[in-house]
Structure 1
Amino acid sequence: MTSTPPPELTVGQVAARSGVAVSALHFYEQKGLISSRRTSGNQRRYPRETLRRIAVIRVAQRVGIPLRVVKEAFATLPDGRTPDRDDWAHLSAAWCDELDTRIDQLARLRNHLADCIGCGCLSLDRCLLRNRDDRLGARGSGPRRLFTRAVRAEEDEHRDPGTTRS
């Protein structure tokens, strides 16, 4: 005879099953990523589906998707349900462009890492971050040379015809 698992889990059970610290569960709940109900003794009880939500959150975090984006994605699900296979396909497809951008940035960093030893800077003659006389300041904030091709192409479309790249 097999016993039916309880429909709800305590915070400790969720932490043990998901591999996430209790404090992280409280944080996720505070951010609106998961929810619980309170018992008459003010203890949290989570539906079993919370484990799947946490798995999605952890995968997203692992690849660098901000929690804000995860929350926005969860908000697109009908009735706040837990993502199923089709939902995951839709959510992950929406994140692919962002991941491609990050992959491009990491590949650029890896390919030029030997040229830069970190801003000490002992490689000024070939440093990708060097911006002599702040010439790139007119193009916007941030590390202009480290932005991806996609970001640079978008900026090129909006740049005044009289300006040139440095």
Structure 2
Amino acid sequence: MTRTPPAELTVGQVAARSGVAVSALHFYEEKGLISSRRTSGNQRRYPRETLRRVAAIRVAQRVGIPLRMVKEAFATLPDGRTPDREDWARLSAAWCDELDTRIEQLTRLRNSLADCIGCGCLSLDRCLLRNRDDRLGEQGSGPRRLFTRAVREEEDRANLRIH
């Protein structure tokens, strides 16, 4: 006899099946990444496809995609549906630029970790050669040599919005 899986799952069932803590599921729901309905006893019930949404969230987080971007990607799906195979291919492809930026930044960090990072401290002997008189400080705050062009451009746009 074949047993039909339930159409809706409790928060505990979603947590057990997805490997995500109940508190994380509540957080995802608070951020609008997943949704549930409430029973008459005020208990959460999640549609079974929530497991796929949580899996997509976890994969995105694992590679460093911010939840903000995951939410934006999910918002492109019609009627808030759960991503299918084609949706996932499209959504994950859209994150490639973000991942390339992160890879570039991590590579730059790895290659210059023992060198001047342009923070402005001027305490390392090499900084006097690489960042004399804190010239990099004119470009903005933070470790300027570690920031990729994309990060610097995003920072510049943010500064323009503030001012």
Contact 1:32 1:71 in 2 (8 A): yes
Q: Distance in 1 between matches of 2:122 and 2:145?
A: 18
Q: CA deviation at 1:45?
A: 0.2
CA RMSD of aligned residues (A): 2.8
5+ unaligned residues in a row in structure 2: which ranges?
Answer: 155-163
Q: Tell whether the 8 Å contact from 2:122 to 2:131 is kept in structure 1 after alignment.
A: no
Distance 1:11 1:35 in 2: 11
Q: Which residue of 2 aligns with 1:23?
A: 23
Partner of 1:147, secondary structure, is coil
What is the TM-score when the length of structure 1 is the normalising length? 0.81
Q: Which runs of 5+ in 1 are unaligned?
A: 155-166
TM-score, with normalisation over the residues of structure 2?
0.82
**Identical-residue share of aligned pairs (%):** 91
Deviation at 1:76, TM superposition (A): 0.3
Distance 1:3 1:151 in 2: 51
1:49 aligns with 2:49: yes
> For each residue in 1:22-50, what CA deviation from the matched residue of structure 2 results, as whole angstroms up to 9, or x when unmatched?
00000000000000000000000000100
The answer for the alignment partner of 1:106 in structure 2 is: 106
Structure 1 stretch displaced more, 97-106 or 138-147: 138-147
Contact preservation (8 Å) 1:115, 1:123 = no
Which residue number corresponds to residue 10 of structure 1? 10
- Secondary structure in structure 2 of the residue aligned to 1:89: helix
Deviation at 1:123, TM superposition (A): 7.4
Distance 1:150 1:69, change over 3 A: closer
Q: Please name the residue that 2:82 is paired with.
A: 82
Q: May I ask how many residue pairs the two structures share in their alignment?
A: 152
Shift of 1:136: 2.0
